[in-house]
Structure 1
Amino acid sequence: MNIQKYMAFIKTVEYGSFTKAAQFLDYTQSGISHMINDLEAEWGVALLERDRSGVRITSDGLKLLPYAKRVCEANNQLLAMIDELHGLKSGLIRIGTFSSVATHWLPNMIRTFQTEYPNIEFELLLGDYTEIENWVIEGRVDFGFLRLPAKSDLETIFLEQDRLLAIIPENHPLADCDHFPIKGLLQAPFMLLEKGAKNEISEIFEKHNITPDIRFTTWDDYSIMAMVEKGLGISILPELILQRVPYKILAKELEVPAYRKIGIVMKDAKTVSLAVNRFLDYIQYRNKI
């Protein structure tokens, strides 16, 4: 039995494309096609219909797909048990994360964790909220840091509430204010931080029924800070990313405080490897002290 053949079948059905399945699994398109042909020959059934518009699962393939998925899930559980028998002497933890967590949380978390488990390796994928959520669903990462709430079929662990602060240049007329007025967001060009479909900053605008003059949109926090420093506009950024910033900018709490909830998202806590489970325990313990 070759688990990769099962994965080739599953991912081709999910993506409706040999090419996309090949990109996800890091194979050639012909390699994916060959593995599925092998499965069809072994099982004596047609799994996919192929034409110029792409590929579609057959009725026989639809009946067999859940069983192929269960085999892959069982294989993941087997590997997790092997890790446990080896006492966490090795392992890989794949994490989806956004920039502020990657910069200010994960380095210390990983350093401390590796003092006890030095042979555990980490793979970090940096993306926006939508990308991270999709990576979790697709199994590309073991878990992801995400703004909550997430999709209802995902398991979540709440970690922290992160303030959203107005970011202004040092010479801004409201530089001395204690709390930045909501209407002040309308008095200068606005630099919008986008982290995917879930945009907590746009929710602030909707809540207060305002429409700032958005001149620039990016998912990179530091680009926002650099432009604000140069007087090109103002913005709102999470407090977490504003630690140890090299830019000459001011951070002000909004007159109506706003927050984002940061948490961990995964498909199923019961099926993660021992290494992942141990790291999740460490994160939650760290967050309580």
Structure 2
Amino acid sequence: MHFHVNIYKWISLYKNSLIAVLSNEKVFERVEEVSIQFFNGKSFIVMTEYAFNHDVSYPLEKERVQPDIRFTSTNDFSIISMVESDMGYTILLSLVPKNYSGNYICRNLKQSHDIEIVLNNLKEI
């Protein structure tokens, strides 16, 4: 099905961006942004449904980045725990790490795109 986005009026409910979740190493202390190219060939941890997670796969594919996917998990806490244990790096939606505290750091992605939750114009519902 093809939608003509320009003919719809959308109300943005929330914007969320992708962030890099990295181990708490001194090398990352002064880094404010991470290039998506950083992940090329690096040990990477993803949600089990990676193939269906367009939020993470899209920027990697767009920039032709191929991380070394070493581990998968079904929940965010496990992924963050693996990052803390130096098992790899990951990319998550920025809301996720806000729910956890630990020995990891989050940095903005230079090539990130916003994920929006939108609602069709209320008059048309």
TM-score, scaled to structure 1 = 0.35
Is 1:168 matched with 2:19? no
**Where do residues 44-193 of structure 1 align in structure 2 (5 Å cutoff)?**
158-171=12-25, 173-186=27-40, 188-193=42-47
- Give me the whole-angstrom Cα distance separating, in 1, the residues matched to 2:52 and 2:119: 18
How many aligned residue pairs are there? Answer: 112
Is 1:230 matched with 2:85? yes
Report the CA distance between 1:185 and its aligned residue: 0.9
- Give me the whole-angstrom Cα distance separating, in 2, the residues matched to 1:242 and 1:186: 22
- Give me the whole-angstrom Cα distance separating, in 2, the residues matched to 1:240 and 1:167: 12
Is 1:221 matched with 2:76? yes
Q: Which has the larger radius of gyration?
A: 1
* More helix, by proportion: 1
Contact in 2 for aligned 1:190/1:235 (Cα 8 Å): yes
- Give me the whole-angstrom Cα distance separating, in 2, the residues matched to 1:172 and 1:230: 15
Is 1:239 matched with 2:88? no
- Give me the whole-angstrom Cα distance separating, in 2, the residues matched to 1:205 and 1:172: 25
Report the CA distance between 1:184 and its aligned residue: 1.2
Report the CA distance between 1:157 and its aligned residue: 6.1
Please state whether the residue corresponding to 1:256 is helix, strand or coil. Answer: coil
Contact in 2 for aligned 1:195/1:219 (Cα 8 Å): no
Structural RMSD (CA):
2.6
Contact in 1 for aligned 2:45/2:90 (Cα 8 Å): yes
Report the CA distance between 1:245 and its aligned residue: 1.3
Please state whether the residue corresponding to 1:236 is helix, strand or coil. Answer: strand
Q: Give the aligned residue type for 1:248.
A: N
Report the CA distance between 1:244 and its aligned residue: 3.9
- Give me the whole-angstrom Cα distance separating, in 2, the residues matched to 1:171 and 1:227: 14
User: Deviation per CA, 1:10-35, whole angstroms, max 9, x where unpaired?
Assistant: xxxxxxxxxxxxxxxxxxxxxxxxxx
Contact in 2 for aligned 1:168/1:175 (Cα 8 Å): no
TM-score, scaled to structure 2 = 0.75
- Give me the whole-angstrom Cα distance separating, in 1, the residues matched to 2:51 and 2:57: 11
- Give me the whole-angstrom Cα distance separating, in 2, the residues matched to 1:196 and 1:256: 20
Report the CA distance between 1:170 and its aligned residue: 0.4
Aligned residue in 2 for 1:255: 110
Report the CA distance between 1:254 and its aligned residue: 0.9
Please state whether the residue corresponding to 2:39 is helix, strand or coil. Answer: helix
Contact in 2 for aligned 1:163/1:258 (Cα 8 Å): yes
Which one scores higher on RCO, CA 8 angstroms, separation ≥ 6?
Answer: 2
Report the CA distance between 1:187 and its aligned residue: 5.3
